């Protein structure tokens, strides 16, 4: 098993859900597919989707919802088989 | 009681703007700033600076409870909210007053009345101001929608009742499109806002965005004439002028009069703005909304009216009555403001968080530059992209355009992409020169510019 990392394209605020009252895109440990949205990064009031670029058995988020991130920071690790 | 110590609950250029007026009035300033703004210019220029939380706005500038508590502990006797963040949050105003502080702005009641779209439209109609023709509230179904659209005339917009910020809006041109788009719009509204309710509004073709600047003291209200903010991208103003030009004097007079009446109806106190959509073909204007705060584009009015709006806000909140009668308000010349945003106009206005390498600030007669940037300044990614405003005053519109062109030529910002270059193109475009534009003009122009 290898670990693949997902990085944010820009600095800003990372969100794990599409809206404050909505469920998270992905739970800790959930499987993800290539191209699936795993979160949003808000940069100057503009939202960018963060997508997984691999299929994976489990995703582990390293950043909490609504937390500040630097550009290119690792957001999550994906276990790929 | 005059304000002696002011807590500034904002950041960037507007924090700087408030600090400037306060200092001139001998008011001590305490700036509440986020960790991301610790090195900012307002922090350096305020008398005292207090960190209110981490970068993301929800944890700092939007944390009402914390802002009130820290302001109270700081010994401030008033809070100026600027624009955005907590400026139009009535619960925040209640909190400020419960803590025994003065809110520099209108009463919580005024904010509640004018902040509720349906209530504000109702008050507007009570004083005889037309609202954009359309449905009164949620549509019952397709039959009602088609009958209404037929009555007000196509094209019409379908808007989500619980929507906002330009989201969930569809424009349809005939009954077939309406039948097709209505259920889709309802489903979209349900998914996006949890409420499938939609209403219908007539599209005013070739409309101009006009707004009247008001100043009230809770007893009386005066107007400081109007602004034209028709150059918009995605409903965001990027260029504003004062006064509006090319409109009949009788219409302008009626516009001012109705705006004052509306503000009087809610005993308005402080600076405020009433926004209208103007239909030049029918020479009619329609109420959009009231902004119960200082606005980004307020300097254009300050330049033509020759007064300090933020200073007047501070005096009024300190218990003074209006210092001017309506007949003492006189406007002179023409002012234009352009918004300098850290966005790349050549790449779909992609945000540009980054470090300012160098700035060459324009100057000379009739040029004002309201900005918090400096060489080495790091633009945080957490807030809006506004990094400054260039405002010019000329003898008339044509002179103001020439002066703007000259000032833009002097301006240079390096390190990040900005919208400055876009304005150099706009200022020389024939439509902008002749004033022949409307709220839907800029976007196709931008698309053509990109090709």
Tell me which chain A residues have a C-beta less than 8 angstroms from the C-beta of B351.
Answer: 10, 43-44, 46
CA distance B15 to chain A (A): 18
pLDDT band at residue A21 under the 50/70/90 scheme: confident
* pLDDT value at B67 more than 60: yes
Span B432-440, mean pLDDT? 95
Catalytic member of B11, B17, B269, B293? B293
| pLDDT reported for residue B136 | 78
- Put simply, the answer to whether A46 touches B342 (Cβ < 8 Å) is no
For residues B266 and B268, give the distance between their C-alpha atoms in angstroms, rounded to a whole number.
5
| pLDDT reported for residue B336 | 98
| pLDDT reported for residue B166 | 60
Tell me which chain B residues have a C-beta less than 8 angstroms from the C-beta of A46.
Answer: 350-351
For residues B104 and B187, give the distance between their C-alpha atoms in angstroms, rounded to a whole number.
41
**CB–CB of A20/A39 below 8 Å?**
no
pLDDT band at residue B160 under the 50/70/90 scheme: confident
A3 DSSP assignment: E
In chain B, the percentage of residues whose pLDDT exceeds 90 is 85
Q: What are the sequence ranges of the domains in chain B?
A: 5-104, 142-202, 208-450
| pLDDT reported for residue B31 | 98
Which member of A44, A66, A67 has the closest CB to residue B353? A44
Termini Cα distance of chain A: 5
Instruction: Compute the count of residue pairs across chains A and B with CB atoms less than 8 Å apart.
Output: 42
Instruction: Name the phi and psi angles at A52, rounded to 5.
Output: -75, 140
Span B267-294, mean pLDDT? 95
Which member of A12, A21, A71 has the closest CB to residue B382? A12
Please report the DSSP string for B124-160 in residue order: HHHTT--B-SB-SSS---HHHHHHHHHHH-S-EEEEE
Same fold, B5-104 and B208-450: no
| pLDDT reported for residue B167 | 64
Q: What is the pLDDT of residues B97-130, one digit of tens each?
A: 999 999 999 999 999 998 877 788 889 988 889 9
B223-261 per-residue burial string, b: 16 or more CB within 10 A, e: under 16: bbbbbbbbbbbeebbbbbbbbbeebeeebbeebbebbbe
| pLDDT reported for residue A79 | 95
CA distance A43 to chain B (A): 5
Tell me which chain B residues have a C-beta less than 8 angstroms from the C-beta of A42.
Answer: 381-382
B351 touching A, CB under 8 A?
yes
Span A15-24, mean pLDDT? 89
Give me the interface pTM, i.e. the ipTM.
Answer: 0.86
Angle at B421 between CA B419 and CA B425, to 5 degrees: 115
Average of per-residue pLDDT values in chain B: 94
Rg (CA), chain B: 22
| pLDDT reported for residue B338 | 98
Tell me which chain A residues have a C-beta less than 8 angstroms from the C-beta of B382.
Answer: 12-13, 42, 44, 68
| pLDDT reported for residue B164 | 61
Q: What is the pLDDT of residues B373-419, one digit of tens each?
A: 999 999 999 999 999 999 999 999 999 999 999 999 999 999 999 99
B164 touching A, CB under 8 A?
no
Report the CATH number of the B142-202 domain: 3.30.1490.20
Please report the DSSP string for A15-64 in residue order: ESSSSTTS--SS-TT--B-TT-EEEEEEETTEEEEEE-SS-BSEEEESS-
Span B8-12, mean pLDDT? 98
- Put simply, the answer to whether A44 touches B54 (Cβ < 8 Å) is no
Q: Under CATH, to which class is B5-104 assigned?
A: alpha beta
Q: Under CATH, to which class is A2-80 assigned?
A: mainly beta
| pLDDT reported for residue B168 | 67
Q: What are the sequence ranges of the domains in chain A?
A: 2-80
Asked if B293 is an active-site residue, the reply is yes
Q: What is the pLDDT of residues B328-362, one digit of tens each?
A: 999 999 999 999 999 999 999 999 999 999 999 99
- We find that the CATH architecture of domain B208-450 is 2-Layer Sandwich (3.30)
């Amino acid at each position: 098993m290898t670990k693949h990392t997902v990085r944010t394209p820009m600095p800003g605020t990372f969100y794990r859900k599409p809206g404050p009252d909505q469920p998270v895109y992905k739970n800790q440990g959930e499987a993800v597919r290539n191209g699936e949205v795993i979160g949003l990064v808000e940069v100057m009031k503009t939202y960018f989707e963060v997508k997984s670029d691999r299929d994976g058995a489990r995703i582990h988020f390293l950043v909490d919802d609504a937390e500040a991130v630097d550009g290119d920071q690792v957001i999550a690790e994906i276990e790929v088989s | 009681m005059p304000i002696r110590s002011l807590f500034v609950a904002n950041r960037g250029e507007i924090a700087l703007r408030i600090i400037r007026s306060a200092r001139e009035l001998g008011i001590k300033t305490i700036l509440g700033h986020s960790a991301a703004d610790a090195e900012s210019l307002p922090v350096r220029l305020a008398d005292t600076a207090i960190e209110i939380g981490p970068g993301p706005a929800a944890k700092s500038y939007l944390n009402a409870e914390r802002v009130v508590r820290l302001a109270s502990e700081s010994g401030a006797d008033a809070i100026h909210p600027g624009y955005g963040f907590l400026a139009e949050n009535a619960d925040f105003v209640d909190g400020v007053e419960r803590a025994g502080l003065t809110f520099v702005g209108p009463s919580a009641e005024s904010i509640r009345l004018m902040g509720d779209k349906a209530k504000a439209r109702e008050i507007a109609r009570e004083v005889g101001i037309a609202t954009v023709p359309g449905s009164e509230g949620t549509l019952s179904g397709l039959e009602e929608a088609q009958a209404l659209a037929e009555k007000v005339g196509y094209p019409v917009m379908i808007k989500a009742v619980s929507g906002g910020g330009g989201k969930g809006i569809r424009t349809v041109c005939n009954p077939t499109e309406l039948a097709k788009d209505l259920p889709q719009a309802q489903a979209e509204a349900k998914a996006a806002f949890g409420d499938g309710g939609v209403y219908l509004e007539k599209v005013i073709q070739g409309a101009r965005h006009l707004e009247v600047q008001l100043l009230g003291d809770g007893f009386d209200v005066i107007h400081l004439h109007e602004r034209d903010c028709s150059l918009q991208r995605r409903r965001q103003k990027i260029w504003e002028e004062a006064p509006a030009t090319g409109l009949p004097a009788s219409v302008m007079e009626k516009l001012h009069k109705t705006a004052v009446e509306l503000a009087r109806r809610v005993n308005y106190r402080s600076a405020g703005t009433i926004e209208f959509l103007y239909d030049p073909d029918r020479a009619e204007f329609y109420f959009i909304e009231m902004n119960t705060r200082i606005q980004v584009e307020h300097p254009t009015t300050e330049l033509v009216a020759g007064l300090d709006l933020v200073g007047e806000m501070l005096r009024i909140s300190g218990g003074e009555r209006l210092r001017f009668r309506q007949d003492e308000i006189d406007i002179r010349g023409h002012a234009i403001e352009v918004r300098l945003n850290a966005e790349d106009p050549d790449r779909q206005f992609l945000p540009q968080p980054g470090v300012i390498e160098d700035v060459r600030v324009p100057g000379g007669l009739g040029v004002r530059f309201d900005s918090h940037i400096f060489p080495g300044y790091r633009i945080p990614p957490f807030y809006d992209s506004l990094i400054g405003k260039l405002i010019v005053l000329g003898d008339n519109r044509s002179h103001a355009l020439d002066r703007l062109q000259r000032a833009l030529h002097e301006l240079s910002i390096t390190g990040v992409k900005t919208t400055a270059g876009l304005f150099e193109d706009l200022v020389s475009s024939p439509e902008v020169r002749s004033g022949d534009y409307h709220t839907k003009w800029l976007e196709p122009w931008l698309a053509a510019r990109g090709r």
